[in-house]
Amino acid sequence: MLKETSNEFSKIFLVFFLVFGLFITVFVNKANAVAVVDNYVSLISNEVNMRTGPGYRYPIEWIYQREGLPVEIIDRFEHWRQIRDIEGTTGWVHKTLLSSKKTVIVTQDMSQLFETSGTKAKAIALIEKGTIGNLDRCRIYRCYVSFGEYEGWVGRTALWGIE
């Protein structure tokens, strides 16, 4: 009888620690997921109002008219995001006007678009300063970006909108 009680206690003890371990694992993973936040987003439409504060009661300071423009989130308040654009202008935008779609803007005039990410890659196009592209992925020195019908690798130093 003592052996049965000890065996049951061991089973309960084991189940408790398995459940506890699972709980801790989920909790830690969620905490890490929250900590890894990408601060670059893009404007969702051709008309986005930037306000002086986080709410509709604050005046409109600027109207962006460039869908896909990458912006950096620098603060958060409820449903509002304080953003910074490539020029350094800051203000507040409602989160529904921002997209998680990754875009970049070319910062150097006539940047080369390369066929591959290698250092001896062939240039296939020249991209004008101010052109917005869809970001796919980045390597150490170059990022794979599509600009309409053209796609390829651009030097990281020629792009704004990446970490």
> Mean pLDDT per segment of 10 residues, for the chain of length 163 residues?
56 46 42 53 98 98 97 98 98 98 97 93 96 97 96 97 91
Domains of the chain: 40-101 (2.30.30.40), 104-160 (2.30.30.40)
3-state DSSP of 119-159: CCCCEEEEECCCCEEEEEEECCCEEEEEECCEEEEEEHHHE
Q: What is the pLDDT of residues 13-58, one digit of tens each?
A: 444 443 444 344 444 443 333 333 579 999 999 999 999 999 999 9
